[in-house]
Structure 1
């Protein structure tokens, strides 16, 4: 019984939406970011980089206040306009390889705290608190949490029907993606969507664990300050992009280690052989074909590693994940990596296509050894979440990646 409701989004004017919306901040190189800020005065990046206008670095609450001020300026200049009525928003992105389509809506903090919205990643307290402070000072959130749910025929029919209408937005971006957004204002359709989600038992966070956790902190904080708290205030909800699980795309993350923890290459291979059968692939680029198989690149050569299952104990859903297996059998006991969240000896890169990234980074001397894994499946992710277990960091690279500033949720 998931609570999903419409809200009054603040959105770019139709004529400026292609200029305003942006990728998430971390996806821009410094050169790309500078170009956007220099040549596009309407970019949402100007709001989250308020110091750029003044040619100075700002941080902490001073930065948060300047973000708020820049946001207000965009609203005053009618670059952003708030909808008159609560609405649902169908958002679709299309590129050469994939089409993603889902619903932007407000989801319940109560569902999050009651574990109706389920998590599969651990969060870091300091990051939760930092983003809560950001939300409280700025008063808005511009990037939805990515949630997934079991495919529902009735909801799919509603979305398919609404997509036959002219979209409010239809624009392309320089990364060769086509973006479309439909605004649903009809009360009957909104009721159908709300009732449709009410019949769904659980929602799962695909991406945005810290944003969700920070929204829960904010709701608790603001409720304690509000003597007239009812539970219906905007801070009791957070903006989400809800997408059927069949439309979710999950890729793996490669792991890289800077050294062999004092082992020679020969000694390292001997220790590996106690837990894995090893096949030397030489210069042949190799990617793991199935679960519990791993690729390894070391000293200019590829190896295929296959877990010796009689040497490893499967105890729960977490223990069956390849990322956890690699940690328990190699990263921790052999390479001395204890804390995966705070160790500069380990690096990661998403692997959407092949194993070239492993070879490139090792050959460049940035790391000593690299490992490639099979992607986690949606079913594995759900089983881990249902068991209240948490995956290791950087276990999943999940698409779609959402744009900032397309719809904004105010608290």
Structure 2
């Protein structure tokens, strides 16, 4: 079984991409999705967040919700809004957000490679979220949320992908967040074969975002394998929907922290404790850390720049991450938050919202202090995955986000 292979995508009919595409299902809550899909009958949110088509209060994991997703998919097919390609292809997918641009490949990736850790993970998954994605795949008989993957340095793949964008695209749409999503179909058999061969030479692919979607695909494949007496290993369920970018093009933004209180310390006591592990410098403007090991601290209307003392930086690929350094040297020992996954005294703010959002959360009185962090680097993520380890919660915030609905994988 090859690491990746082409597939016959289910995608918007010509001229319909802007009507269809939607943010990933897991970046919106139900109210936000309902508002975004208002007066948009073909929005893919009717498939990825079908609870929006029920009265408020419906349980999002109720059986009728998954059934509604299947009904909405059939409606979009019957209306000709979505159409399936006649044979398997690869697809080039370009994302443009402001001055940032990245070009990747839409393909299906091997479940066997995922199970064997050739497609490498860096996060734990939650059973309830896995169960949700399994039910969604089973109800639709399709994978509609792509897994975001990264490939290590491979200049020939980069070159081939760039060459496929010379002609006019099959879809070109701007999302509500002003991200431009452009898709080309790669139909040339020689190019398809060469892309498959080049990916086969790579040591690994890396999950950037989509751990629950890939885990769910593996579970569905295992279930169907057991109930399929004619199983060969080449079935469509043995692959999962992916968009794969070169790691050097991907952009991780900062994932910042806000804390509800000072854990019973006075401001002077808190700063004294911080100074034991960090160099502390006053700042007259918001601090956006420029290098690893540097942090911004905002409280009582003032910004300070913190730098971890060098002898406190370990060699372990997880422990040396900025999110780990802040957690282990300040948030846990000084502020008393030892389980950031469950402690309600801490919250997380994606860098897309900007440093002013940190100020707003503190100045409103909701939170007592905020920390700005340097973004995790892709090289750090890959090192953690290569070591078979897991990153701390809320370590990465990828932008721009992929669009749901631009290409889906039907399980024949």
Same fold (TM over 0.5): yes
1:82-105 deviation digits (Å, cap 9, x = unpaired): 111011011112232211211100
Cα distance change, pair 376–174 in 1 and its aligned pair in 2 (3 A)? closer
Please name the residue that 1:124 is paired with. 126
1:307 and 2:283 are equivalent in the alignment: no
1:16-60 deviation digits (Å, cap 9, x = unpaired): 221011122454577764444331221112223445445453532
**1:142/1:409 contact within 8 Å kept:** yes
Could you list the runs of 5+ residues in structure 1 that have no partner in the other structure?
A: none
Q: Measure how far apart 1:367 and its partner are.
A: 0.8
Cα distance change, pair 392–51 in 1 and its aligned pair in 2 (3 A)? closer
Please name the residue that 1:319 is paired with. 319
1:218-277 deviation digits (Å, cap 9, x = unpaired): 211221222222211111110100111121111111111111222222222222122112
Cα distance change, pair 65–371 in 1 and its aligned pair in 2 (3 A)? same
Q: Measure how far apart 1:303 and its partner are.
A: 1.6
Residue 230 of structure 2 is aligned with which of 225, 228, 236? Answer: 228
Q: Measure how far apart 1:78 and its partner are.
A: 1.6
2 CA distance for matches of 1:267 and 1:384? 35
2 CA distance for matches of 1:51 and 1:242? 30
Please name the residue that 1:98 is paired with. 100
Could you list the runs of 5+ residues in structure 2 that have no partner in the other structure?
A: none
Write the mapping of 1:41-60 to structure 2, written as runs, cut at 5 A. 41-53=41-53, 55=55, 57-60=58-61
1:151 and 2:140 are equivalent in the alignment: no
Residue 263 of structure 2 is aligned with which of 257, 261, 266? Answer: 261
1 CA distance for matches of 2:103 and 2:355? 29
1 CA distance for matches of 2:29 and 2:228? 42
Please name the residue that 2:298 is paired with. 297
Q: Measure how far apart 1:407 and its partner are.
A: 0.5
1:141-185 deviation digits (Å, cap 9, x = unpaired): 222111111232222222222211221112334433333211122
- State the TM-score, normalized to the length of structure 1: 0.93
Task: Give the SS at the match of 2:71.
Answer: helix
Q: Measure how far apart 1:331 and its partner are.
A: 1.5
Please name the residue that 2:253 is paired with. 251
1 CA distance for matches of 2:135 and 2:353? 37
2 CA distance for matches of 1:68 and 1:142? 11
2 CA distance for matches of 1:244 and 1:214? 24
**1:2/1:201 contact within 8 Å kept:** no
- State the TM-score, normalized to the length of structure 2: 0.93
Task: Give the SS at the match of 1:101.
Answer: strand
Cα distance change, pair 228–98 in 1 and its aligned pair in 2 (3 A)? same
1:189 and 2:194 are equivalent in the alignment: no
Q: Measure how far apart 1:315 and its partner are.
A: 4.4
Task: Give the SS at the match of 2:339.
Answer: coil
CA RMSD of the aligned region, Å?
2.1
Cα distance change, pair 111–29 in 1 and its aligned pair in 2 (3 A)? closer
Aligned pairs, number:
409
Write the mapping of 1:160-199 to structure 2, written as runs, cut at 5 A. 160-199=162-201
